[in-house]
Structure 1
Amino acid sequence: MVFARRPRAPLPLWLLSGWLRAWRGLCAPAMAPPRCFALELTDCTLAHFALGAEGSDACPDPRLSELLGPPGRSYSLCVPMAAGDDCGARVHAARVHQSLQHQLRRGPFQRCQLHRLLCYCPGGQAEGVQHGFLLRDPSEGQDTRRALLELLSRCQEAARPHLGEFEADSQGVLWQRAWVLQESRQLQVGCARVLPIPEPPLHPAVPHLLSSAVFRDLDTARAVLETCTSIPEAKAVLDLVDQCPRQVQKGKFPVIVIEGLDATGKTTVTHAVSESLQAVLLYSPPSCIGQWRKIFDDQPTIIKRAFYSLGNYIVASEIAKESTKSPVIVDRFWHSTATYGIATELSGGLQHLPPAHHPVYQWPGDLLKPDLVLLLTVSPEERAQRLRDRGLEQTREEAELEANSVFRQKVEASYRRMENPRCLEVDASPSREEVLQTVLRLIRATFNDS
């Protein structure tokens, strides 16, 4: 079958309804209607649209026309979710999504623009959220389409991303053609109009956060790594977690966590404070699993955040033991795990973060809680200069913090919305000695008042 170039006029409704029935039958339940889409634009805003045969009164969105219409050609690819949306299905879909992202940045796709795309159900339900991409080919090259079909043919049928191709008719109305592969043949199974819709009150991925990036308890994080049998280190992490007692209690000495972005002075401050207070200095993730950070940093967000979450529970058992003998200083803890997970998983800018007091900002009920959390901050310019002065190899998150100001702002805003305990902010721009004295004054004031 050959791809049609572009509809010359709106298609009759009887033909559309027939195509839509075929599409729904072939793609259910993963793409069962109604479905909506959130497309991340270059300015980190989101454009929302749905697919249907009606909607002639819908207000056009010039942003959609610019990305989905001519000149050029755009394609959508969304990773299907298995029925039930269980933990194993989420992990598998995340791996397919990551593999797809890597492949869409290579070969003939390098000249194309890649945008984050989310397919979701209206009304805020967590079920059926599908992550994907919009691929924008500015040259409308035939080899892009062929490369996409070849890419899809290599995917397992059950995990094969859904492919949509956008076109505009002679009146400029946008349509999406849906394609599937059957026995190495491309088959059109739907054609529907692109209908702009209002932005929902909450980012559509927010209901999904507590099962994909910010885990509310040990068992939820543990269930993720239990599905990762292909990673030998996952079993080792689980074995270490099993050796830790559940629901550990803090000792009589204070526990102070120091948080902050990279290059805000955490290492210097934590060492200086631990020496001043004769406190034990601990790290999250702890040294027993820290050697595997690179392995898990290369995994999809859901696996990576499960690793760091379980690391928090391992270090919590160390905190419980050490805080019976002396004060404890912790270099990062749960707040870091949560803020980076939120900023990574949610597309768009600051305005799309969960609102203040949302459950995603609340400390897990089964994790040992510190007495005080200090957040070190410096200006973006100062932090960038410190990173350059360090001259060390950057982690992927460090590189994104430096290159992507919106990502950095989302991390910082999430830190400031954390509750129970909240983060007490400290300006780390002055000299090391001044910052240390400020931190010590806050610590003494906190524990003298308690």
Structure 2
Amino acid sequence: ARVRAARLHQRLLHQLRRDSLQRCQLRRLLCYGPGGGEGGVQHGFLLHDPSDSPDTRRALFSLLGESPEGPRLGEFVGDARRQVWQLLWELRDGAGWRQVGPRERVVSAPEPVLHPVVPDLPSSGVFPHREAARAVLEACIPFIPEAQAVLDLVDQCPEQVQKGKFPVIAIEGLDATGKTTVTQSVSDSLKAVLLKSPPACISQWRKIFDDEPTIIRRAFYSLGNYIVASEIAEESSKSPVIVDRYWHSTATYAIATEVTGGLQHLPPAHHPIYQWPRDLLKPDLVLLLTVSPEERMHRIEGRGMERTREEAELEANSVFRQKVEVSYQRMENPGCHVVDASPSREKVLQMVLSVIQNNCN
């Protein structure tokens, strides 16, 4: 049901952006009840028509009437006393759209202490164990054939793997922080094996899953981490291992995407959402490379790289970027050692090797 709802939500978003509704302003909308409420959080859209044209209502009736899942429609109307009222509409067989019940006044309510999507994240984006992510991709097999191929590779990995005697270092960072250069340089210096998440065996399907809703996209990347963990277990018995991104990336981007609003809406420090999954092999050390926003934009210019939806948003949305950075810094067990990657490549490499030497055997 979660997967079907997420795909319906994404399909509606694309339809609401079509020509007949382009004059309207589109915003994300969350509906929830106090303490979680019955039915939990519901995702939707707020469509504002500045011209108050009757064509907008007709276009919505037509669009929603095409959907077999039957999304609900509410209309918010203001009056001369600056009060806002909600009207509910329902599609009835053979009778078209009809207003349901009396209109109800919309009143302000206290802001929740915790963002309403946070309790839902362990089952919709920041999966606490392998089976939670696996269940999502199983539901995708009928319409994403590649999901079965991913699951076949995951099932070849032992459920519990142990790290070898050599250190495992994960290196994290936003796009254009020098992560690729640093991971390669560090692996050369330590004569270490360099691994990447998602691993090469499933990277061919990244574009397919990047175009899917968050719950599916994050399940794909989460399971990629478990495949990498199996590779880490094997390689760390023979040499040090450097991992280019790992679970922290999967979690931070999911949190920053799903928790709407500003930094103040993020889960507080030490919240369970920042804890490492209980069944995923842990690295000995996690390094987070950072540069100033100005330096990062300077490095991005002229690179011409194909970017994921989230990497593109990092450039366009400074609040989203800040939420990713803060989420990285709140990760625990293991936390991130922050390294300023602004200096020269040689100096950054020296700093990284020094941190490794001080924290790993």
Query: Given the two structures, how large is their TM-score scaled by the length of structure 1?
Result: 0.78
1:108-148 deviation digits (Å, cap 9, x = unpaired):
21111111110112113584211011001111111111110
Structure-1 residue corresponding to 2:76:
166
CA distance in 2, matches of 1:99, 1:265: 36
1:197-241 deviation digits (Å, cap 9, x = unpaired):
010100111110111010000000000000002101100000001
What is the SS of the residue equivalent to 1:382? helix
Q: Is the 8 A contact 1:126 1:208 kept in 2?
A: no
CA distance in 2, matches of 1:222, 1:447: 33
CA distance in 2, matches of 1:171, 1:442: 63
1:35-65 deviation digits (Å, cap 9, x = unpaired):
xxxxxxxxxxxxxxxxxxxxxxxxxxxxxxx
CA distance in 2, matches of 1:391, 1:245: 39
What is the SS of the residue equivalent to 1:135? strand
Farther-moved stretch of structure 1 (365-374 vs 110-119): 110-119
Code of the aligned partner of 1:424: H
Aligned residues: 358
What is the SS of the residue equivalent to 2:36? coil
Structure-2 residue corresponding to 1:373:
286
Say whether residues 1:287 and 2:200 are aligned partners. Answer: yes
CA distance in 2, matches of 1:162, 1:287: 42
Q: Is the 8 A contact 2:285 2:360 kept in 1?
A: no
Say whether residues 1:197 and 2:98 are aligned partners. Answer: no
Say whether residues 1:430 and 2:343 are aligned partners. Answer: yes
Where does 1:378-417 land on structure 2 (aligned, <5 Å)? 378-417=291-330
Q: Is the 8 A contact 1:125 1:207 kept in 2?
A: no
Farther-moved stretch of structure 1 (229-238 vs 183-192): 183-192
What is the SS of the residue equivalent to 1:257? strand
Structure-2 residue corresponding to 1:175:
85
CA-based RMSD: 1.1
Code of the aligned partner of 2:87: R
Q: Is the 8 A contact 1:126 1:207 kept in 2?
A: no
Code of the aligned partner of 1:380: P
CA distance in 1, matches of 2:90, 2:259: 28
CA distance in 2, matches of 1:363, 1:423: 12
Greater CA radius of gyration, 1 or 2? 1
Structure-2 residue corresponding to 1:86:
none
What is the SS of the residue equivalent to 2:164? coil
How far is 1:246 from its partner?
1.0
CA distance in 1, matches of 2:360, 2:120: 38
Structure-1 residue corresponding to 2:23:
111
Which ranges of structure 2 fall in alignment gaps of 5 or more residues?
none
Structure-2 residue corresponding to 1:222:
134
Q: Is the 8 A contact 1:124 1:202 kept in 2?
A: no
CA distance in 1, matches of 2:38, 2:257: 18
What is the SS of the residue equivalent to 1:369? coil
1:406-444 deviation digits (Å, cap 9, x = unpaired):
110110010000000000000001111111110001001
1:233-281 deviation digits (Å, cap 9, x = unpaired):
1000000011001110000000000000001001000000000000000
How far is 1:169 from its partner?
2.9
CA distance in 2, matches of 1:125, 1:175: 22
Structure-2 residue corresponding to 1:26:
none
Where does 1:91-110 land on structure 2 (aligned, <5 Å)? 91-110=3-22
Sequence identity percentage: 72
